[in-house]
Each structure stands twice: as C-alpha cells, then as structure tokens.
Amino acid sequence: MVELVVLGSAQDGALPHAGCRCEHCERARSDHAFARQPASIGIVDGDELLLIDATSAFADQVHRLWLKTSAASDSAVTRYRPPDTIMLTHAHTGHYVGLWQLDRSVLAAGAVRVTAPPRMTALLRANEPWAAMEREGFIRIESFEMDIELKTSENVTVSPVEVPHRSEWGTETVAFRITGVGRSILYLPDIDAWDGWERDINAVIESVDVALIDGCFWEPFPIPGVPHPPVRESLDLFQPLADAGKRIVFTHLNHTNPLVDPDSPESREVRERGFAVATEGDTFHL
C-alpha cells in the first residue's frame, strides 16, 4: 500500500507563531491539540520513505512518517533511518531548514538524497552548512528537471512543476504531481496567485484525484510582499470542481487564518461548499 501522509499544515512559522499573541497562537500554546506544524507531507511505499520539505519540525515529522512503516512495530529497533529521499519545493527557509538534523550532530545520516530545483541546489552547494554536509557524506544533493517524472520508490513517481512565487534569492518554486498505484495527488503549498501562472489551474486540479493547495490566508494579506491567493477567491474559482466531486484540500495555513480553527464559521463554510482543510495525520491512498 502506498500512502501520502500530511505531516504539517501551517505556514513556515507554525502555530503557535514566534512572537505572536493572537487568539490562535495563545490557544495553541495552552492546547497542544490546537497547534499545527509547518507544511510538509510524506509518502510511504512499503518501507521506502519520501519527505517533501524539511521544516523546523523535522524530528517529529520524520518520526511520524517512520511510524507508518512495518519496522515501527519491531520492538528491537532502537534507532531508525531518515527518509530515503527528501524533495524541496523552494528556498524559503521554513521549507528546508530541517536538513541540518541529517548532520553528525543528530542523525549522522548516510548520503540521504536531497532533490531540489536547479537554482536551489546551486544555493545549497554554495552555502554552509549544506555544502559541508554534502562534502562529508551526510546528504547527496541532486537537481530535478521540471515536468520530468522522478522515480522516488518502487511504486511512486513525482513530477515537479514550476509555479510563480516570490524569490528573494533567484531560485525556483515548484509544486509536485505525485503518482502512485493508479492515483495521483497535486501538492502545491505556495503560489503568488492563480492567474499569474501560465498553466490553467482548473485543468491541473482536474487532472489529479486530490489537490492539496495553498490556503495561506483567508482574505488578501494586508502587508505587501507576502502574496498568496486568498481562500475566499479559491473557493469561488474551484467551486465547479468541488461540486463535481473533486477533492480539494487547503494547507500551508498562516496562524491568523480562521481555518486553523475547525469550529470557526469559515471552516464550516469550507466544508459545506465541498472543500476540506488539511490536518496533521490525514492520509491519502496512492
């Protein structure tokens, strides 16, 4: 069985968010069940593991992914290996900072394959500690090509698709089309705007069985420089697809987004209109 597991559903800074005393963050500090970790997913294909994005919650997310393997039931196992492959969507720090735990100070990993867009791999190789981690054999950095299927395990292929997203360091941002045994999932946690993409987003979503998409803000963010399509806009844009039964799930939620509260009126509206909000532990069969 091949499964995709949601390991995190918040924007890069998680919930609670450092320095924030909003209602959501204060509640998450006192109620850990309300907290959300940074957006990440994992793919389990037998005992082969793929992690997409290495966040600040890397240790917990890798552990929860490993619990899906058969080895997790073996009481004799005292230490488990990291994922076989880690794929990165882009160079915003919240999506790759967890890589440092593959170094000697934590996992002392053995040449874990870390794949990323070409300009991002150049960024990693040009900067520490990533360059040293590759030199010393803890990671193996590889570039992937856009729109070319990459086989990540026996039954899983992943196709990177470039999307428009702010790039302070001149690197790319990608979404992933993930294909397993007869089913496919789109993972697109970050994009500036749907109408700024050269592709027809409706056609892209229609071509997969499940779409996990950018749900960062409920309304347009009032501070310039952090573009994301507001969920209100996405609901209207994708309503015909939802009405036709397409499974569309919002992820990468900012801590201010009312969708972080499953009991909010906005969350109820999302469900009533046939959409969903990602939650840690959600599983999709591939």
Three-state secondary structure call for residue 248? strand
Domain assignment present for 192: yes
Domain assignment present for 286: no
Residue 75 has pLDDT above 80, yes or no: no
The tens digit of pLDDT for each residue in 76-125 reads 677 788 999 999 999 999 999 999 999 999 999 999 999 999 999 999 99
Instruction: Report the pLDDT value the prediction gives residue 210, as an integer from 0 to 100.
Output: 98
Neighbouring C-alpha atoms within 13 Å toward the C-beta of 56: 16
The torsion region of residue 147 among left (phi > 0), alpha (psi -120 to 50) and beta comes to left
Domain assignment present for 46: yes
Domain assignment present for 264: yes
Q: What is the pTM (predicted TM-score) of this model? A: 0.96
Three-state secondary structure call for residue 11? coil
Query: Which band of pLDDT confidence, cut at 50, 70 and 90, is reported for residue 222?
Result: confident
Residue 239's domain is classified under what CATH number? 3.60.15.10
Rg for the chain, CA atoms, rounded: 18
Cβ atoms 257, 224 nearer than 8 A: no
Rounded CA separation 194/268 (Å): 24
With CA atoms as reference, report the closest residue to 65 among 147, 156, 155, 4.
Answer: 4
pLDDT (mean) for 14-36: 96
Rounded CA separation 97/63 (Å): 17
Domain assignment present for 257: yes
- Domain interval for residue 203: 2-281
Long-range CB pairs of 263-266 (<8 Å, 24+ gap) are 266/218, 266/231
Residue 72 has pLDDT above 90, yes or no: no
Q: How many domains does the chain have?
A: 1
Instruction: Report the pLDDT value the prediction gives residue 221, as an integer from 0 to 100.
Output: 78
Percent of the chain with pLDDT over 90: 89
Instruction: Report the pLDDT value the prediction gives residue 30, as an integer from 0 to 100.
Output: 95
Query: Which band of pLDDT confidence, cut at 50, 70 and 90, is reported for residue 168?
Result: confident
Contacts of 279 (CB under 8 A, 6+ apart): 6, 9, 262
Instruction: Report the pLDDT value the prediction gives residue 223, as an integer from 0 to 100.
Output: 72
Domain assignment present for 156: yes
